[in-house]
Amino acid sequence: MSNDSMSVLYDAPGPRARRITLISSILAALAAVAGLYFLVYRPLDERGQFSMERWGPLIDPGNEVFGQVWTQLGQGFRATLTAAALAIVSSLAFGTLLAVLRVQLKSLMRRRFDSLPAPVALAVRALSWLLNGVTRFFVEVFRGLPVVITIFFCASGLPVLGVDLGDILWYLVLGLTIYNGVVIGEILRSGMEGLPGGQREAADAIGLTSFQATRMILLPQAFRIMLPALISQLVVVLKDTSLGFIISYEEVLRKSSFIIQVLDNPIQVYVVVGVIYIAVNYLLSKLAEYAQRRLAKGRRTARKSKPATTGGESTTVQETEAVAGTAT
Amino acid sequence: MDVLVNNFDVFRNGFFVTLQFCILAATGALIIGVLVAVMRISPVPPLRWLGSTYVTVLRNCPLTIVMFFAAFALPALGSNADFLRIPGLDQIFKRLGTDLPYFRFALIALSVYTAAFVAEAIRSGVNGVPSGQAEAARAIGLTFTQNLRYVVLPQAWKGAVVPLGSVLIAMIKNSALAGFFGVAGDLSASAQSLTSAGGFPIIPVFIGISLGYLILTVPLGLLLDRVERRQAVAR
């Protein structure tokens, strides 16, 4: 990918440039290998980090504790995936509700309620203004807080306030849902606001109510446009599930630390867990890229048939990228 | 609310430790990130592979695991991260020079992790420059370095500001994790010590800690929105 997009920076290399590239490639590769050998492999090997004693329980099926270790890790991964799945579903639901609520409140604020008697109209307008302020405040606060802090205070604060969710899993899911729901809500909202104004106008013209227009016209399109950003947010949820170990939810990292206490091989265990995490997340980000390509293709054909909407759509593309950047 | 007033210095110190940590981590992440981004667009294939491997690995790995790695693998490599005890700098940022290495370990972990996102932000800026610009630069005979230095990077900077800003905001939020990895006295560590050891009521502590983070993140976010809107107009 980088090859294609970047080759625009330099000419197709001639014989001399090719020679220089080849020589510097070999030099760079040698430097990298030498650096890895002297700075990483040698010190680790001297401390016996590559011994079978440390790796065996993880990679050698003949090892006596291999089964136990992987049962533990399997339980951990199952717990991680359970929490991640619950958090994904609930934050999508919560985010959608929040986005619809904010868009509705915004359109409510624009209405003047002239048909109602003056004091009632004023009261309704004050109420919608207040609600808009409250939701905006909620969004800004929980978007600006670290998700660790949200999870930590969910787990330690709610029981004090007399809210008992039972299993510790639910505190983790709640914390993740608050943070990611707010982020997803903002993604969807900016998707809806980035749509061409004609969409809502057309919906109004055929007599849909404001809520119907949001539900049936704007939201589906926002989902479609923002799909890549949504998928990368799901990667974030999966990564953030690992924070469960802070509130001693028995997900994979907590299970790993039990294993490490017994076997004393932290580097090896974290390498294995990290590789699995990376593989899963890598597949998910590939999926996001694929979705983005598919969408770009769909948009290009749509643009050919309806050139009038080009302006509106190009702004949404930019916004998609901006939001996708936020979702780190 | 007495908790907030009585423990004001705890909150203030926590805020300043977090702020120092973020400044140092942002500097580190920018340096490493620019290096990785340059590697990713260089004409030398092994460097390119190295750069993209770095980004792929770090972007898909939870920060928690990176932190664990810094805490376990660096000592195993025989390093206490003493190279970060830069003379002069450790006078301003006192935590860099402490004997306990956790501040430096967490710093390395956060910088290395954030650098992957910084590299991606810069690359997206470079990709945002219309290809005609680089082609025109090549047509008048600029070399790869000249092309980058005089034509592409000055324009890429414009497109990279907003993504870089969101990366920095995410980094500030991620810095909260350091308090759970042995860095004493930052905002999130204060949250734990005040609630569990200090036994103070949880709601005021939550408000104090939250304010500390929101002071850092919200203005940055608003600034970023402004820059973004102005850029949208400029386009």
Task: Tally DSSP H helices, then E strands, for chain B.
Answer: 11, 0
Rounded CA-CA distance A23/A41 in Å is: 25
- Whether residue A6 is predicted with pLDDT greater than 70 in this model: the reply is no
Q: What does the pLDDT average to over A9-17?
A: 72
Q: Which residue in A323, A174, A179, A148 sits closest to B174, CA to CA?
A: A148
pLDDT at residue A8, as a whole number = 65
Residue A290 forms part of a structural domain: yes
Provide the percentage of residues in chain A whose pLDDT is more than 70: 84
Query: Which residues of chain A neighbour B60 with C-beta distances below 8 Å?
Result: 235, 239, 277-278, 281-282, 285
Rounded CA-CA distance B187/B203 in Å is: 15
Our CA-based measurement puts residue B89 at a distance from the nearest CA of chain A, in whole angstroms, of 25
Residue A138 forms part of a structural domain: yes
CB contact under 8 A, A25 and B124: no
User: How far out from the chain centre does Cα A176 lie?
Assistant: 11
A38 to chain B: closest CA residue: B77
pLDDT at residue B234, as a whole number = 62
Alpha helices in A36-65 (DSSP H): 42-46, 52-59
A–B interface: beta-carbon pairs under 8 A = 176
Residue A1 forms part of a structural domain: no
Query: Which residues of chain B neighbour A277 with C-beta distances below 8 Å?
Result: 60-62, 65
Q: At a CB cut-off of 8 Å and minimum separation 6, what does B63 contact?
A: A239, B109, B110, B113, B174, B177
Mean pLDDT of chain A: 79
pLDDT at residue B1, as a whole number = 63
Q: What is the interface pTM, i.e. ipTM, of the complex?
A: 0.83
Residue A284 forms part of a structural domain: yes
Q: Can you read off the two tokens belonging to residue A246?
A: 């802070």
Rounded CA-CA distance A298/A280 in Å is: 27
pLDDT at residue A309, as a whole number = 39
pLDDT at residue A310, as a whole number = 38
Domain of A263: which CATH number? 1.10.3720.10
Query: Which residues of chain A neighbour B61 with C-beta distances below 8 Å?
Result: 239, 274, 277-278, 281
Q: Which residue in B98, B65, B70, B67 sits closest to B82, CA to CA?
A: B98
Q: Which domain covers residue A258, as residue numbers?
A: 67-326
DSSP B197: I
CA distances from B99 to A17, B80, B102, B108 (A): 50, 9, 9, 16
Count of the separate structural domains present in chain A: 1
The tens place of each residue's pLDDT in chain B, 235 residues long, gives 677 777 787 888 888 888 888 988 999 999 999 889 888 887 788 888 888 899 989 988 888 889 888 888 887 777 766 677 676 677 677 777 676 778 888 888 999 999 999 998 888 888 888 888 888 888 888 887 888 888 888 888 888 888 888 899 989 988 888 888 877 778 888 887 887 777 777 788 888 888 888 988 888 888 888 888 887 766 5
pLDDT at residue A184, as a whole number = 92
Q: What is the pLDDT of residues B192-201, one digit of tens each?
A: 788 777 777 7
CB contact under 8 A, B41 and A245: no
Q: What is the pLDDT of residues A213-269, one digit of tens each?
A: 888 888 888 888 888 888 888 888 888 888 888 888 888 888 888 888 877 778 888
For chain A, how far is it from start to end, CA to CA, in angstroms?
21
Domains of chain B with bracketed CATH:
2-234 (1.10.3720.10)
Q: Which residue in B146, B127, B124 sits closest to B137, CA to CA?
A: B146
Q: What is the CA radius of gyration of chain B?
A: 20
> What is the rounded (10 degree) CA torsion for B95, B98, B100, B103?
20
Rounded CA-CA distance B4/A321 in Å is: 40
Task: State the DSSP string of B129-152.
Answer: S-HHHHHHHHHTT--HHHIIIIII
Element (H, E) at B69: helix B63-76
- For chain A, say whether B6 makes contact (Cβ under 8 Å): no
DSSP A54: H
Q: At a CB cut-off of 8 Å and minimum separation 6, what does B44 contact?
A: A21, A24, A25, A28
Q: What is the pLDDT of residues A18-40, one digit of tens each?
A: 888 888 888 888 888 888 887 77
> What is the rounded (10 degree) CA torsion for B182, B75, B31, B163?
-50
- For chain B, say whether A263 makes contact (Cβ under 8 Å): no
